[in-house]
Structure 1
Amino acid sequence: MPEPELVDHVARSTGLSPAEAARVIDDVTAYYRETVDEFVRRRHRDLHQRGRRNAEIYAEVAGELADRLFAAPPVRAAAAASDLHLSEETRSVCAESSATSAARRPPRS
């Protein structure tokens, strides 16, 4: 479920119901969760299946990359806080958030 403030904003600004706004937000954020590597592999596969040659594929994908948003690479919250010169209190909150997220993450196989 998206953040309630974002759902409220989208619902107010578009006239959608809160449930519709949440669904749209989920759809859009899912679309942009794709990493650069995943995008390049997917587009290469799609264009290759349409009979395009690598030189054409790489040129087209390079053009698409310039205009596309992608998921940010994983960042450890504590490291990000340190890099941003945040206060000790903020770093502590980030570290706690990172530990909570790690505890919820399924184990890697």
Structure 2
Amino acid sequence: MILSDNGTEFTSNKVINWQKEQKIRWEYIEPGKPQQNGNIESFNGKLRDECLNENWFPSLNEAKRVIEKWREHYNTERPHSSLRGLTPNELASQLKGKTSLIANEGIKTGTSNQ
């Protein structure tokens, strides 16, 4: 399932056809309720504040290079308060072989039945 706001960036024929081909259910948050998609809104704010607003992109290739460098830093070096100070890569390493549920009250893990 994909959850998104009602923005026009997801209304192109290519995106709609891809979604149908993949048989992915698409749901939308209520208009004017960005808190219903809080994790994505938070990520978008961090991307904008820490990367996009801090750089000048003279070309598409330069934008791709800088954004990829930021993404790598975001996932491997930048602690996340929602992950109890871990990076996403550190958490992924800890959860290998386990199922996980990240809830508002913190990170919960359980052993996988695989």
Which TM-score applies when normalising by structure 2? Answer: 0.25
TM-score, normalised via structure 1 length: 0.25
Q: Which has the higher contact order (CA 8 A, sep 6+)?
A: 1
Q: Which has the larger radius of gyration?
A: 1
* Richer in helix (by share): 1
